Amino acid sequence: MSAIEGISEFLPISSTGHMILAADILKITQSNFVKDFEIIIQLGAILAIVVLYWNSLFKSIDVWKRIIIAFIPTGIIGLVLFKFVKSYLLGNLYVTLASLLIGGIILVLLELIYKEKEHHVEEIAKISLPKAFIIGLFQSIAIIPGVSRSAATIIGALFLGTKRKAAAEFSFILAVPTMLAATSLDLIKSNFSYTTSEWMIMLIGFLGAFVVALVAVKLFLTYVQKHTFIPFGVYRIIAAILFYSIVIRG
């Protein structure tokens, strides 16, 4: 589960969707421990971004301005709809699969019409503040399980004239306040009164997600500098169709 989190959190394939599908395949019951475990491994993935982008996160005021502005719409919408998402959307296989499928189609179509040009923005600090806010609006769509926070922000950034590498990096760094806010809401409601072995499982999951996310992000950045996001869109479509055909329809 931590490996799935580490790989999928920052790729445009939906970590939440994959965690829901993986839990269903592995027959993992959504107990309080499992929910807290998922929170902990998300924090491991966040730490990977903090380590990789230490200079960008803590030494560039221009980058932080854009990250904070992009976070505002997500924070407001997420807080308002938190209970609704938790009660009706999170864990819903049909919503997750539909989001994976539709998101994959949009990703493929966007790449077919998108042409990276010289005048496109290639640095996060050069993204205009209004555009940063709009990218944040795109990210807010990801409160729907299966949409993918990474995919939503990358699609928004590409649509607004940002180069692929800058779009991916903006998505990575924007994940830090977004995921910290989301996990904090869950942590407030968790008591974390577990056995020694359960704490050990959480520690292993945290470290696993951290290491896997480090590798996944580096490989992803190398990939996007020379290739499109079409393979990720195709993967989403195939994964949604296969899961529906094999697991749900059986």
Domain range list for the chain: 2-23+32-248
Phi-psi region at 98: left, alpha or beta (left = phi > 0; alpha = psi -120 to 50): alpha
Give Cα separations from 246 to 18, 198, 250 (angstroms): 15, 32, 5
Q: Which two tokens stand for residue 227?
A: 């290739």
Tokens of 155: 């699609």
DSSP-based three-state secondary structure for 121: strand
Place of tokens 């055909």: 245
User: What pLDDT is attached to residue 247?
Assistant: 74
Cα–Cα distance for residue pair 1/17, rounded to 1 Å: 12
CA distance 1 to 18: 9
Specify the pLDDT at position 250. Answer: 63
DSSP type of residue 149: H
Q: What is the pLDDT along the chain (250 residues), one digit of tens a residue?
A: 999 999 999 999 988 788 888 888 888 887 778 878 888 898 899 999 999 988 777 678 999 999 999 999 988 988 888 778 777 777 678 888 999 999 999 999 998 988 888 889 999 999 999 999 999 999 999 888 889 999 999 999 999 999 999 999 999 999 999 888 877 777 777 767 788 998 899 999 999 999 999 999 999 999 998 899 999 999 999 999 988 887 777 6
